[in-house]
Amino acid sequence: MSDTNFVVITLGSLNLALPASELMLINEREKVTMKHGISMTQASDWQVPVYQLNEELRLVRKRNNKALYCAVFSDTNKRPLWGLICNQVTQKNTSQQPIKIPQISKHPHSPLINVIVDNTPEKDSEDLWIFTTTTQALTHYLERSLSNEHQDQSINMAC
């Protein structure tokens, strides 16, 4: 991933960076609608599912009224895949090199890859940490999370 060309989406206290080339559009939150119990939004001619993750990257069902945007990401063929509800979307340019997350510090299913630590001296506040991922890695993670959630529901119904 190019360190000069990515978008950062804010999920609570988590800053998550994805390649800017994979961001298709940003919809206002109002353009997310419920269809058959699934949150959807329009992206060009497509209806895509919309997910909400918390700052620990867990799927959340409860509506977050503070989140204003829905960022829609696409695959390499520019086909929209899914949207993410988020508080903020920014384009970030930095000269800081991404540093790989140590293997011992992440679960094998984690979509997180690197950390960019923005410690520019003009800032008085703490270093800004940005965790990087890719649309592909996040897609696999979302699919796995949804599958696990479905299995849990099936088990609960069986009980």
- 8 Å CB contact between 85 and 69: yes
Strand order in the sheet with 99-100: 88-92, 6-11, 14-19, 128-132, 114-118, 99-100
Binding residue (CB under 8 A) for other proteins from 21, 29, 106, 136: 106
Give the binding range for other proteins (CB under 8 A) out of 26-34, 65-73, 103-111, 148-156.
Answer: 103-111
- 8 Å CB contact between 103 and 90: no
Beta bridge partners of 69: 28, 86
Give the binding range for other proteins (CB under 8 A) out of 1-9, 18-26, 76-84, 126-134.
Answer: 126-134
Residue 109 in contact with other proteins, rule: CB under 8 A: yes
Residue 73 in contact with other proteins, rule: CB under 8 A: no
How far apart, in Å, are the Cα atoms of 153 and each of 18, 61, 145? 31, 14, 12
Site pattern 4..43 for other proteins (x: CB under 8 A) = ----------x-----------------------------
Question: At closest approach, how far in Å is the CB of 31 from other proteins?
Answer: 27
- Residue number with CB closer to other proteins (7 or 16): 16
Binding residue (CB under 8 A) for other proteins from 10, 42, 64, 110: 110
How far apart, in Å, are the Cα atoms of 23 and each of 8, 76, 80, 89, 156? 10, 11, 9, 10, 36
Instruction: Count other Cβ atoms within 10 Å, centred on residue 102.
Output: 8
Give the residues lining the site for other proteins (CB under 8 A): 14, 55-57, 99-102, 104-107, 109-112, 115, 117, 119, 126-127, 129, 131
